[in-house]
Amino acid sequence: MLTDEGTEFSLSSLNGQSVVLYFYPKANTPGCTKESCSFRDVFPNLRKVNAVVLGISPDGPAAQVKFRKKYGLPFTLLCDTEHAVAEAYGVWVEKSMYGKKYMGIERTTFVIGEDGKIAKVFPKVKVDGHAEEVLAALS
């Protein structure tokens, strides 16, 4: 998988650290922007508990890096353009908007422990207060 900077990335490179992996549908959309900025705002406190934050969406590197820089996000965004990671985590689902069905990301956050195992799942995330909820789970 690629990072927003276009370099190869593997979650296994973060063994020994807690990881907050949040899946969001699309960069630069209102809900995704609000969610990402809230993780940005609690980021110093997440670092204090040895947590790494990673955002992941189906966007490519150009869209992700633009999004990260526009909002000053201090963490890496991952590009799941083939949605293989989203499928593996079970968050690539059928959605419906205005009666039209399509496949997309179900906003979900995974907290992965220092042992590399999923410690907590936040399914069907509501953006307001979510980053603080994740921080509380890690503290």
Catalytic residues: 32
Evaluate whether 21 touches 110 at the Cβ level (below 8 Å): yes
Distance CA 25, CA 31 (A): 9
Evaluate whether 20 touches 125 at the Cβ level (below 8 Å): no
- 10 Å Cβ neighbour count for 16? 8
Residue 124's nearest CA partner among 91, 84, 101, 97 is: 91
Amino acid 28 reads N
Evaluate whether 65 touches 5 at the Cβ level (below 8 Å): yes
